[in-house]
Amino acid sequence: MSRIGTICVKDAKDNRTTKPHQLPIYATSSFELESVEEGMAIFKDPMTGHLYGRFSNPTIDAVADKIAQLEAHNTNVNDPWGVMTSSGMSAITTVILAELVAGDKILTQGNLYGGTTELIKNRLPLYGIGCTLTNLTDLNQVRAALQRDKTIRLIYFETPSNPGLDVIDLKKVAQVAKEHDVITVVDNTFCTPIIQQPLDLGIDYVIHSSTKYLNGHGNSITGVVIGSGAQRKKKVWSTMKAIGTNCNPFDAWLVNNGMKTLALRMKQHSSNALSLSKYLESHPKVASVNYLGLESHPHHSLSQKQMSSFGGMMSFEVVGGLSSGVAFMDALNIGSLAPTMGDVDTLIMHPASMSHLNVDPTLRLANGISDSMIRVSVGIEDIEDLCEDFDHALQSI
């Protein structure tokens, strides 16, 4: 029999007799091996078992697999997989470093999320990975860029874009990329797999800031890379392991809880955003409204083609410019001023002074992100309360 000090040190016996109803949180940095032989086998191929928390974890793996299943649900995508990371930005960094080396270039759009723009334009060039900006909604420009510069090895884009809500034809861009043997990566955070499934349209990798809609409750920071095929998974997983962009089990567990209501939430987000955008479009103190569900949006038809609904993201400008916009944001009661999106409650943000503050103003303005733009992540509150709150704030300016 062990002495008392040894009993204190050894882990308590797992007395589970039946399967837990909820996914357990495996809060462990390492995993105990049954034998030296088992250890040798897993160390030869760490993707076949659990060794160390930076490599893999049962909680994280289960959630990553679930997201991959959603992205491939009812499609022709075979062997889908997911690798969770510590944030959306680490997901982007991981997949880029998995595919590119010094001397390669990324073809991308000018109206990306500000953090992604900063990574691609300012940070990656320090390590020899360049970038070229073009209008990815114009396939002629995409083809011309690929023909002109053979060092372009990857196309990275958002559709819809953040915060401009430009929509890029996923299927056509994927076809052009394959003609030139170029990898495609798309950020699907705004839509989630409930609304849009890029892998089924030929895209190679999908990333999410799963901090946002996949979680939906604003209580964790995570990212995920989704693809298909064992070779690509090994590339991404090996890069994640090497640079330490791994997720943690508690945050993955929170994402799993959030996803249980994802289908219901996305339906309500989309319904509320459509109603609010129509209300604002007719309001005398609103100068313009940018929402894909409005027939006035230039990409409305393409959105109908590749999205099952129009999502919960919109932007607008008030009459009177920036000063009026600031007064409006300060007067809201239900909508909260916060630098994020995708939560159950309505969130507003001023891109020029927040998400895109570090983006060159010339680039920002050239891509329609004006000083007076207000981005809205429309929540799932009662729509009547939202419209009344927005009207109250507009009347105050």
One-letter-per-residue 3-state SS of 267-290: HHHHHHHHHHHHHHHCCCCEEEEE
Distance of alpha carbon 392 from the chain centroid:
32
What pLDDT, on a 0 to 100 scale, did the predictor assign at position 226?
98
Catalytic entry in 212, 232, 235, 375 = 212
Domain boundaries in the chain? Answer: 36-259, 262-395
Mapped to the 3 state alphabet, what secondary structure does 304-366 carry?
A: HHHCCCCCCEEEEEECCHHHHHHHHHHHCCCCEECCCCCCCCCEEECHHHCCCCCCCHHHHHH
CATH architecture classification, 36-259 = 3-Layer(aba) Sandwich (3.40)
Q: Which of 175, 166, 125 is nearest to 146 (CA)?
A: 175
Give the up-direction half-sphere exposure of residue 308: CA atoms within 13 A in the CB hemisphere: 11
Catalytic-residue membership of 156: no
What pLDDT sits at residue 4?
85
Is 121 labeled as catalytic in the residue annotation? no
Output the pLDDT for position 307.
98
- Count CA atoms within 13 Å of residue 34 on its CB side: 5
- Give the model's pLDDT for residue 2: 85
The one catalytic residue in 187, 200, 204, 343 is: 187
C-alpha–C-alpha distance, residues 304 and 118, integer Å:
31
15 confidence band (pLDDT: 50, 70, 90):
confident
Q: Can you read off the two tokens belonging to residue 55?
A: 């490599």
Determine the CATH number of domain 262-395. Answer: 3.90.1150.10
Which residues are 84's β-sheet partners? 224
CA distance between the termini of the chain? 77
**355 pLDDT more than 70:** no
Model pLDDT, residue 357: 62
Note if 364 is an active site residue. no
Report pLDDT for 11: 84
Among 54, 171, 234, 278, which one carries the catalytic annotation?
A: 54
Q: What is the DSSP string of 85-117?
A: ESSHHHHHHHHHHHH--TT-EEEE-SSS-HHHH
Picking from 268, 283, 289, 271, the residue whose alpha carbon sits closest to that of residue 165 is 289
Among residues 26, 61, 105, 113, the one annotated as catalytic is 113
pLDDT for 317 beyond 70: yes
Q: Mean pLDDT across the stretch 322-345?
A: 91
pLDDT confidence of 207, banded at 50, 70, 90?
very high
How many other C-beta atoms are found inside a 10 Å radius of the C-beta of residue 85? 31
- Catalytic-residue membership of 212: yes
Strand order in the sheet with 347-349: 286-290, 313-318, 374-377, 347-349, 336-337
For residue 376, list its beta bridge partners.
Answer: 314, 348
